[in-house]
Structure 1
Amino acid sequence: MNAQTSQNKTDFTSNKFKLAIFGTLLSTVLLLNGCGQAGASKAEGAEAEKVAEKVIPIPVEVGMVKKGSISSNYTTTAVLEAKEEAFVVGRASGIIEQIMVEEGDYVEKGQILAKLEPERYELNLRRAQADMTGIEKELAKINKVYNQKLVSDDTYDKITAQYESAKATLALAKLDLKEATIVAPISGYIAERNAKVGNLTESFQRERMFYIVQQKELYGIVHLPEKELSKVHKNQKARLTVTALNDAEINAFVERVSPVIDSKTGTFKVTLRVPNDDGKLMAGMFTQVSLNYNTHDNATLLPRKAMLAMDDKVNVFVVDEKGIAKKIAIKTGYQEGNFVEVLDGLLGNETVVITGHQNLKDNATVDIVNG
């Protein structure tokens, strides 16, 4: 029994030792695994810090500040009108025998436009000439005997009056014959032709036969608010944008300024002189008018899209040579087209952000995508 007991104790001690060694090995393995995980976590943290420190440039588009001229303008609209126009009517009555021009033709002052049948007026002229000849002979006889006091003053006065009447009748007959030929009262283009061969034209009806417009120089009529009266003067420049000519820009000048204010509208009338030497403009064209009040030369011009309202100020982001966008507050002046005058804050040679600056922060790194 004692030997068996001793053997059991020996086996128990051996097993306990094995368990202790296994536990030690297991603890060592777990400790090594824990150290490995801790090392990996530290490496990952360092890498994340490096990624966080890396700056990602913000893509933007930029424009250039430049020097140039800029103006203060008042913008309105106007419809071009012919400076000279004439509605031609038949001053004599008769059948239209011949028409010499068509719509679109250019005619000079005095050029024949149409002719009426002249026979009636030719006969009236011949009759008046015959009457005039008879009266002249009678007056010649009376003059001879009147000087000798052989004819009374009353008879002499009647013959003299008849002579004056015959002379007037002859002049009217000549005028009627002349007016049977319709001529252009001004030089210009035939805008309308209402006359037709065979039609009867009655002088008392004053029917419009032709409409002539002179378009070498046109007028643009604008009505401005009364507060602008002190800013407008004769020969002041204006710029017209003509929609019908693909928004072509035409120079114009103030021809005259009305001295009165329309009490109903609170405006005054300004007439613009519009040169048309090349003949591209036509009466009736619609135009956008920019009346030039003043011009600043050698001004610092900023692209309008670069302006950004922040903190009750007008700001721009200026990009330096390192690609850093810095916010700068500016003071603006005139605005015209796509540019704004900068009175303070810029020198005139900066590169500014024009797209992508809405959410940009001061001193941000940017990537210029438009070169």
Structure 2
Amino acid sequence: METTTRRSSALPLNVRLLATAGLISLSLSMTACSDADAVDANDQANEIDEVVFAVPVETETVATGDITSTYDTTAILEAREEAFVVARASGIVEEIYVEEGDFVEKGQVLAQLDKRRYELNLSKAQAELTGIERELEKINKVYSKKLISDDTYDKLTSQFESAKASVRLAELDLKEATITAPISGFVAERNAKVGNLTESFQRERMFHIVQQRNLQGIVYLPENELSNVTVGQSAMLTVAALNDRAITATVERISPVIDATTGTFKVTLKVPNNDNRLKAGMFTDVSLEYATHANATLLPRRALITIDDNHSVFVVDNGKVKKVDVSTGFETNDVVEVIRGLSGTEEVVTAGHQNLKDSAPVEVVNS
């Protein structure tokens, strides 16, 4: 009888149970590790989101103070008084006593013309006057006795008056041979030279004198500004030639007419110059002050966002920003008055607006 031996491939039950338990344990361990990695990844992603999307911005705190409404324009300073000195007598220039830049008082001698001819003319006129005066004295003695006619007496009297006038003219000619300053001021130009021949009332100017203790600036404003300007109103002048020195001027005159071709009117400013540092012809920037609002809420101009005439700002609060609509009033180059929308204590974004939206997280990076 043939016996066949058959080997079974099945593992014992206890072995299979142990193997199955090990597999389950390994699976659970792997699953736990996978879940833990996922949680860590989510936390890291959240942290990265918070860091990456916190937009760096610069901020300033809204202030309270005074603000003035101004109209900005330009002007060229002019001398309020000036004189062009010309010769009123003919003659050779013998002496010149002043130079350009010298300060002269009214009546001070500037130059001397040759006066010998005028001295001779005066002597001649005085001699003629003396002769007629003596003759008139003799005639007066006999005229009272009616020994000469009224006609002869009247002619001699007329000659006497004419001789007196000739003397006064000769004295005036002699006086005008000495050139004097008609006003006090600085000599801006000296065109006269020793040896030159001057003709009376010639067009050539011997001297140009300007009075600069008080200067004036002429500005032309658009007609819609007429109601905002009054005499005595202040204006701030900035002179670039004097390292942007600020000068306070006042409105002295306002033209009552509007130029129809330009739509502007003329305003004359009085500019003090006690230290004579300002010079006629200097170019200045002018800020004409209209009105002042005290204790106003002042917003840095850089913080203001304007889109289609709507104004807004980003206010920083607890690491995030809030977009706030505002209404504005007076403005300057640096600040804007806020009439409505802010209380005056907010911290506002001044740089970094382009990357912001409402409720966005921010990081303040002020230098």
Tell me the TM-score normalised to structure 2 length.
Answer: 0.90
Contact 2:73/2:219, CA 8 A, preserved across alignment: yes
Question: What aligned pairs does 1:122-201 form with structure 2 within 5 A after superposition?
Answer: 122-201=119-198
Contact 1:333/1:343, CA 8 A, preserved across alignment: yes
CA distance in 2 between partners of 1:336 and 1:317 (Å): 20
Give the number of aligned pairs: 363
Aligned to 2:230: 233
What SS is found at the alignment partner of 1:358? Answer: helix
Unaligned runs of 5+ in 1: none
CA distance in 1 between partners of 2:288 and 2:280 (Å): 20
CA distance in 1 between partners of 2:147 and 2:355 (Å): 118
- Check 1:159–1:310 CA distance in 2 against 1; reply closer, same or farther (3 A cut): closer
- Check 1:122–1:29 CA distance in 2 against 1; reply closer, same or farther (3 A cut): farther
CA distance in 2 between partners of 1:25 and 1:196 (Å): 130
- Check 1:310–1:76 CA distance in 2 against 1; reply closer, same or farther (3 A cut): closer
CA distance in 2 between partners of 1:92 and 1:30 (Å): 132
CA distance in 1 between partners of 2:308 and 2:88 (Å): 75
Considering only aligned residues, what root-mean-square deviation do their CA atoms show, in Å? 2.6
Unaligned runs of 5+ in 2: none
Instruction: Identify the match of residue 46 of structure 1 among 26, 35, 39.
Output: 39
CA distance in 1 between partners of 2:27 and 2:283 (Å): 85
Contact 1:234/1:256, CA 8 A, preserved across alignment: yes
Deviation at 1:41, TM superposition (A): 3.2
Contact 1:308/1:314, CA 8 A, preserved across alignment: yes
Contact 1:217/1:277, CA 8 A, preserved across alignment: yes
Aligned to 2:327: 331
CA distance in 2 between partners of 1:24 and 1:311 (Å): 78
Aligned to 1:360: 356
Instruction: Identify the match of residue 299 of structure 2 among 294, 299, 302.
Output: 302
Aligned to 2:315: 318
Deviation at 1:366, TM superposition (A): 2.7
- Check 1:22–1:187 CA distance in 2 against 1; reply closer, same or farther (3 A cut): farther
Give identity over the alignment, percent.
60
- Check 1:27–1:184 CA distance in 2 against 1; reply closer, same or farther (3 A cut): farther
Which residue identity does 1:154 align to in structure 2?
D
Instruction: Identify the match of residue 289 of structure 1 among 265, 286, 289.
Output: 286
Which residue identity does 2:207 align to in structure 1?
F
Bigger mean CA offset, 100-109 vs 347-356: 347-356
Deviation at 1:127, TM superposition (A): 1.2
The answer on 1:118 being equivalent to 2:115 is: yes
Deviation at 1:204, TM superposition (A): 3.7
- Check 1:139–1:66 CA distance in 2 against 1; reply closer, same or farther (3 A cut): same
- Check 1:172–1:28 CA distance in 2 against 1; reply closer, same or farther (3 A cut): farther
- CA offsets, 1:71-109, max 9 Å, x none? 222222211111001111111111111111111111111
- Check 1:144–1:360 CA distance in 2 against 1; reply closer, same or farther (3 A cut): same
Deviation at 1:303, TM superposition (A): 0.5
Question: What aligned pairs does 1:232-251 form with structure 2 within 5 A after superposition?
Answer: 232-251=229-248
CA distance in 1 between partners of 2:21 and 2:171 (Å): 140
- Check 1:345–1:149 CA distance in 2 against 1; reply closer, same or farther (3 A cut): same
Tell me the TM-score normalised to structure 1 length.
Answer: 0.89
Deviation at 1:257, TM superposition (A): 0.9
The answer on 1:276 being equivalent to 2:269 is: no
Contact 1:61/1:355, CA 8 A, preserved across alignment: yes
Deviation at 1:26, TM superposition (A): 9.6
- Check 1:95–1:28 CA distance in 2 against 1; reply closer, same or farther (3 A cut): farther
